[in-house]
Structure 1
Amino acid sequence: MAPPRDPRRLCRLVQEGQLRALQEELEAAGGCQGPARDTLLHCAARHGRQNILAYLVEAWSMDIEAANRDYKRPLHEAASMGHRNCVRYLLDRGAAVDSLKKADWTPLMMACTRKNLEVIQDLVEHGANPLLKNKDGWNSFHIASREGDPVILRYLLTVCPDAWKTESKIRRTPLHTAAMHGCFEAVQELLDRCDYAPDCRDNCGVTPFMDAIQCGHVHIAMLLLEKHKEGQTSTVQTLLSLGANINSKDERNRSALHLACAGQHVACTKFLLQSGLKDSADLTGTLAQQLTESRDILRDFDHTVKS
C-alpha cells in the first residue's frame, strides 16, 4: 500500500484519540513513521491512547519493540509520561522491560523522572532492574532522588535495599543530587535510611552540604549538619574562597551562624565570626547565640563584640 501523503496526519489522529478516523486512514494507506521516525505506537504510548495502542498491535501487528532515532521503544514513551494503562498493556504483550534508549536509559529510569509510583511498581514487578546505570552512571534511585518524592525512594529501597549505594561517573551520590535540587523530604529519607558518609565528596571535592549551601538551600544544609554532627569549617572556608555570600539567609531569615550555633559547632562558629558575619534575629526574633549551650561559643561572641 502507498504511504499517506502527510504522515503527520496519522500522528495527529493518534494524539487526538480519533480511532475511527485512524482506522479509515490506515485501511486506505497502511502504516507509516512520523517525522522523528516514531511509529504510531510511539505516538499512542506518548499520549496515553491505550485503545489505539491495542488496535495498532492487534489489527496491524505493529512491532512493540520498534525503536526511533533515539532508540526509544513505545514502553519508554509510556513510562516517561506516566501512562500506566499503556505501560501495563505493553508489558502484558511482552515488551522488554529493561530495553535501552540513547544514553542507556531504561523505561524504569524514565518513569522515575515522574512522580508516579504505580508505573514504577508495574515495571519493577515485571522484572525491571533498579541497579542498572545510564551512561552518566546514574541508576533509577539516583534519578528518583533528583525528583525528591520520599514515597518513591522508600519503595525503591524496600525492593532493592542497596539502590542507594551508587555513585555517578564523577562520584556524585543520590544525596548530592537531592541536596542540590532542594529536595528536603528526600534528603531526610536518605539520611534516615541510608548510610552516607558525612563528608562524601565528588570528583571536584564537593559534599552534599556544599551543594545545599551553594544553591541557597540553607534548611537542607542545617539538616545535614544536624544529622551528620559535623562543623564543616573547612567546607565553609572553601565556599567563601569560591565567592559564596557569607550573609545569605534561608526563608526563616536564619544565617549560617544559626546553623553553627544550633549544632553546637564551636570551630565553625568561631570561623564565621572571625570572617565578619554578624549575629542577627530570624523571623521569630531569635539570635544565633540564643541557640547554643556551649560556653566556648558564647565566649567567642563576647570576644567579637569587645573587639
Structure 2
Amino acid sequence: MAERERPRRLLRLVQEGRLDLLRDELHPEDIPEARSRRWGRLGDTLLHHAARLGHRDVLEFLVRELGMDVEAANGDYKRPIHEAASMGHGECVSFLLERGASVDCLKKGDWTPLMMACTRKNLEVIRSLVEHGANPLLRNKDGWNCFHIASREGHPEVLRYLLDVSPGIWDTESTIRRTPLHTAAMHGCSRVVELLLERCHYLPDSRDKCGVTPFMDAIQNGHLDIARMLLEKHQEGHGHTILTLLSLGADLQAQDGKSRSALHAAVAGQQAEATRILLRAGLRDTPDGSGMLAQQLARKPEVIQVFQESQVTT
C-alpha cells in the first residue's frame, strides 16, 4: 500500500511546492518513474503541475536534477510553458524559455503560449514571450490571434503593447469574420472599444458572416454605452445624422443575413432602453426572414411596455 501511495505523495508535494520534502522523499530508484509518470485524464507530467501552480524552484529541480523534458506534452499537446503562460507565472515562463522551451509551440486548437498569456493581464509574461521571439500574428483554429483574445478579455494595456510591437495586428478576422471590435463590443469591454476606435481602423458597420455588426452586438447584449460610442465614432467619420448612425449604414432598416434588423437584436436581448432608442429613431418593425416581428420576441414586461407606449402594432 505504501508503495502505491508514493507516486501520489510526490505529486502532492509538487503541487504544494514543498521542494524540501520532495528532495527527501525522492529516492534514486524513484527518479525514472517520476520522470515518465503521467497523471489525470490528459496525462500531465510533474512539470505541468509545477508550471501551472507557479513553483519555479520545483520546476528547476525537476528539469536540472531529474532531467525532465521541458517540451513534454500532455494529451492536448499542452507543454509546461502553456501552463505557466496561461496562469501568468512569469518566473516559470522565463526559466522554461532559458531551458529551450519552444516559444510558439501549439496545443490543441492551435493555441500558442502567447495566446494563453493574453487571457490574463500579465504584461511581464507577454513581453517576455514576445522578446523571446513569439509571433503575435499566429492564429488558432478559430482564426483568432493574441490581439483578438486580449480584446475579449478586456485588457487595454495588453492591446497597447501588442499594437506597439506589431502595429498591423488589429487587422484580423476570425473564421466567421468577427473582428476584435465585434468581440469587445459583445463582451462589454468599453475601455477596449474606446482604444480600438482610437488606434485602429475598423469600420463601425463591418459585418461578420451572419451579418452582425459591432453595434448590433452591443445592443443585443445591453452595452448601450458601447453602442453610443460606436455611433459617435461613426458620426465623426461620416457626418451622418443620428438616424443614419442607428441604421448602421444606408437606412434604418439595415438587416443581417437572416433579415433581422437592429430592432430584432435589441428585443431578442430583452433590452428595453435599446428598443426605445431605436423605435424613437424611427426604426420600423418589419418581419425577418422567418416572418417574425421584433415585437414577437419581447418577453420582459418593460420591453412589451415600450412597444405599447410607441403604439407599434403587429
- Is TM-score (shorter-chain normalized) higher than 0.5? yes
Corresponding residue to 1:117 among 98, 123, 127:
123
Q: How many residues align?
A: 264
Q: Provide the residue aligned with 2:281 in structure 1.
A: 269
State the partner residue of 1:131. Answer: 137
Q: Is it true that 1:238 corresponds to 2:261 in the alignment?
A: yes
Distance 2:270 2:112 in 1: 42
Partner of 1:169 in structure 2? 175
For residue 206 of structure 2, what is the aligned residue in structure 1?
A: 200
Would the aligned equivalents of 1:7 and 1:33 in 2 still touch at CA under 8 Å? no
The alpha-carbon deviation at position 246 of structure 1 amounts to: 7.9
Query: How far apart, CA to CA, are the structure 1 residues paired with 2:70 and 2:281?
Result: 61
Question: Partner residue of 2:105?
Answer: 99
- The CA deviation at 1:9 is 2.5
With 203-212 and 234-243 compared, the bigger mean Cα shift is at 234-243
2:16 alignment partner AA: E
Q: CA distance change for structure 1 residues 247 and 51 in 2, over 3 Å: closer, same or farther?
A: closer
In the alignment, structure 2 segments of 5+ residues that lack a partner are 236-244, 287-292, 296-310
TM-score (norm 2): 0.78
Please give the TM-score of this superposition, normalised by the length of structure 1. Answer: 0.79
Match runs of 1:203-214 below 5 Å: 203-214=209-220
Task: Provide the rounded CA distance (Å) in 1 between the counterparts of 2:69 and 2:47.
Answer: 8
* 1:29, distance to aligned residue in structure 2 (A): 1.8
Contact 1:45 1:78 in 2 (8 A): yes
Matched, 1:22 2:22: yes
Are residues 246 and 6 of structure 1, via their aligned partners in 2, closer, same or farther at CA, if it must alter by over 3 Å?
Answer: closer
Q: Tell me which of 52, 60, 63 is aligned to 2:66.
A: 60
Residue 224 of structure 1 aligns to a residue whose secondary structure is: helix
Q: Distance in 1 between matches of 2:19 and 2:88?
A: 21
* Structure 2 partner of 1:149: 155
- 1:11–1:40 CA contact under 8 A, matched in 2: yes
SS at 2:169 equivalent: coil
Deviation for aligned residue 1:255: 5.2
* Larger displacement relative to structure 2 (102-111 or 4-13): 4-13
| CA distance in 1 between partners of 2:164 and 2:22 (Å) | 43
What is the aligned-residue identity percentage? 60
1:205-253 CA-partner distances (Å, limit 9, x unpaired): 0000000001111110010001012232235871334543686238xxx
- Could you say what the CA RMSD is over the residues aligned between the two structures, in angstroms? 2.6
Structure 1 residue 169 displacement after superposition: 0.5
Deviations 1:157-213 (A, max 9, x none): 000011111111000000000000000000000000111112111110000000000
Q: CA 1:6 to 1:69, structure 2 compared with 1: closer, same or farther past 3 Å?
A: farther
Q: Deviations over 1:246-293 (max 9, x none)?
A: 86238xxx9526xx9xxxxxxx82337999x9xxxxxxxxxxxxxxxx
Q: Deviations over 1:45-101 (max 9, x none)?
A: 000000000001100110000001111100000000000010111111111000000
- For structure 1, the 5+ residue unaligned runs are 261-267, 278-303
